[in-house]
Amino acid sequence: MHLEHIVPPDLLLHSAVRVLVVGAGGTGSAIVMGLPYLDQAMRVWGHRYGLDVAMMDGDAVSETNCVRQPFSISDIGQNKAVVLINRINLFWGTNWSAIPNHFHARSFDRSQDRCPDLVFGCVDTRAARKAIEDSFSRALSRTCYWLDLGNNASSGQFVLGQPLNARNRRKANRLRTVSELFPEIVDTETGEDPLPSCSAVEALDRQEPFINQTLAASALAMLSQLFRYGKLTHHGAFFNAKSGRMSALPVDPDLWSKMRRRSKRAYSRTM
C-alpha cells in the first residue's frame, strides 16, 4: 500500500531548518557542499529562512583523503569539518558552523534548544549509526528526520526516516529509519566492516570513485522535492554503480514490514 508522506507543517514556517551533518568524509563532504544550493532554492521557493547547517567530525585531513574527498595538500592536518565549513562560508556568505568533535550518543544532552530538525548520518561504522539512533530516538528529542547514507565498493543507499521521539509519535505512516528497516546496521556486537584504507591506491580499489557523489546528489534531490512540494512518495533509494540502476524505496508500511523480516532472517543466518 503506497502512501504519500507529508512534511510536518511547523518545519518550514517560522525559522531556518536546523541541519546537522555527522561525518565529513566522502559522503558527508559531498552532502555539505550541495546544501548551499538547497538553501538558495528554498529561499526562492518562499522559505525565506533557508537552512542553518552545522557539521560535526573529529578527524583531521590525511594525505589519502586528498584522493577521493574535496581536500588539498594544504589542508592536511586540519579538521575536516572546519575546512569544509570555512570554505562554504567564504564562498556563499553563510554563517554555518563546524563542530570539530566526534559525535556520540550524548552530544546534544545539554543543548536541547540546538537539537537539529534534520540529521544527515554520513558515517561508516555500526557504532556511529547506533550513537545517532540513540541520541535522536529519545523521548525528549525534537529531531524530525534522520537521513542515513551508506555505501560499499560499488553500491549504496540512502534512507530518510523519522526517529521515534517527542516529535514523531508511533503511527503507521511514520517513515521508518534505516535502523528499523535494517536492524543489523546498528548491531555493534557483530564487529565492524574493514576500516578505510591507508593508501590512495587501496582507497580507489576498495570503492568506486563517484559512489559518494551519486548518493549525495540523489538524497539532496529527494529533499528538494520534500521542501518544495511538501510531500514524498519515496523516502530513499538503492544504487548499484555496476548495473547503473537506482531503485526507489516507496512509502509503504507493508513493504517496511517485509523488509524488516527479510533483513532479520538474512542476518540470523550469518550469526
Instruction: Report whether 205 contacts 196 (CB < 8 A).
Output: no
**Residue 196 DSSP code:** P
What is the Cα–Cα distance from 2 to 105, expressed in whole angstroms? 33
Helix (H, G, I), strand (E, B) or coil at 99: strand
What pLDDT is attached to residue 200? 47
What is the Cα–Cα distance from 142 to 146, expressed in whole angstroms? 11
Residue 253 parent element (H or E): helix 253-270
What is the Cα–Cα distance from 117 to 259, expressed in whole angstroms? 26
Beta strands in 28-125, from DSSP E residues, in sequence order: 51-56, 97-99, 118-121
Q: How many CA atoms lie within 13 A of 234 on its CB side?
A: 16
Instruction: Report whether 75 contacts 61 (CB < 8 A).
Output: yes
Which among 198, 172, 190 has a CA at the least distance from the CA of 255?
172
What pLDDT is attached to residue 269? 58
Contacts of 268 (CB under 8 A, 6+ apart): none
Q: Is 153 left (phi over 0), alpha (psi -120 to 50) or beta?
A: alpha
What pLDDT is attached to residue 195? 46
**Nine cell digits for residue 216:** 549525495
Taking only the tens of pLDDT, the chain with its 271 residues reads 788 999 998 898 889 999 999 999 999 999 999 999 999 999 999 999 999 999 999 999 999 999 889 999 999 999 999 999 999 999 999 999 999 999 988 887 665 557 899 999 999 999 999 999 999 988 778 899 999 999 988 899 999 999 999 999 888 899 999 999 999 899 887 766 654 544 444 455 567 778 999 999 999 999 999 999 999 999 999 999 889 999 999 999 999 988 888 876 665 656 5
Which residue(s) pair with 238 in the sheet?
A: 157, 247
What pLDDT is attached to residue 110? 63
